[in-house]
């Protein structure tokens, strides 16, 4: 009887951690960040920086039109959102993808904040960066708890 109760509690804990991983995966913070960037003219900062980096370091960074950039962001967010079902189901391969996604969001948020400090002014996308950082940390924690 005690073993059955323990097994049931473990199963409930696994469902709860899987659900938390699914909620953490939802890309709503990224969508809010993309909207923040679009509303604060992110490309007016990114495109000149990309040109400078291309000339100085010969790195082939893309230069975007607004339509191409926003369309790509929308497609990426839809693709990431479509993976939510796998996170809610506890697909094991989603753990690796979640770590990568969380680290990319963490770096993105930190770069917006660091850029604002370095330039001494608010950079496009910085308003939603704390939300992006919190979401990334939440995802890392949720993935770690979802290991069974």
Q: How many other C-beta atoms lie within 10 A of the C-beta of residue 16?
A: 12
Q: Transcribe 88-116 into DSSP letters.
A: HHT-THHHHHHHHHHHHHHHHHHHHHHHH
Write down the mean pLDDT value for the chain.
89
Three-state helix/strand/coil letters over 20-82: HHHHHHCCHHHHHHHHHHHHCCCHHHHHHHHHHHHHHHCCCCCCCCHHHHHHHHHHHHHHHHH
pLDDT given at position 115? 94
Instruction: Look up residue 106 and give its DSSP letter.
Output: H
More confident residue, 68 or 10: 68
Looking at residue 6, its pLDDT comes to: 39
For residues 5 and 13, which has the higher predicted lDDT (pLDDT)? 13
Q: Is 30 a residue whose pLDDT tops 60?
A: yes
Q: How far apart are CA 102 and CA 57, in angstroms?
A: 28
Q: In the predicted model, what is the mean pLDDT of residues 16-33?
A: 86
> For residue 16, what pLDDT band results from cuts at 50, 70 and 90?
confident
Closest listed residue to residue 79, CA positions, set 96, 62, 97: 97
77 compared with 24, residue with greater pLDDT = 77
Confidence of residue 24 (pLDDT cuts 50, 70, 90): confident
Rounded to whole angstroms, how far apart are CA atoms 134 and 82? 21
What whole-number distance in Å separates Cα of residue 87 and Cα of residue 94? 6
- pLDDT grade, residue 26 (50/70/90)? confident
């Amino acid at each position: 009887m005690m073993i059955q109760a323990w097994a049931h509690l473990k199963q409930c804990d696994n469902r709860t951690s899987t659900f938390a991983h699914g909620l953490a995966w939802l890309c709503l913070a990224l969508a809010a960040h993309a909207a923040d960037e679009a509303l604060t003219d992110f490309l007016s900062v990114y495109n000149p920086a990309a040109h400078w980096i291309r000339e100085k370091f010969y790195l082939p960074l893309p230069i975007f039109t607004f339509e191409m950039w926003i369309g790509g962001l929308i497609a990426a967010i839809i693709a990431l959102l479509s993976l939510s079902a796998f996170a809610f189901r506890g697909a094991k391969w989603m753990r690796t993808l979640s770590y990568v996604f969380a680290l990319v969001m963490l770096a993105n948020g930190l770069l917006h904040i660091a850029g604002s400090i370095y330039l001494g002014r608010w950079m496009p996308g910085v308003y939603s960066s704390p939300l992006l950082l919190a979401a990334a940390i939440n995802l890392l924690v949720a993935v770690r708890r979802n290991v069974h």
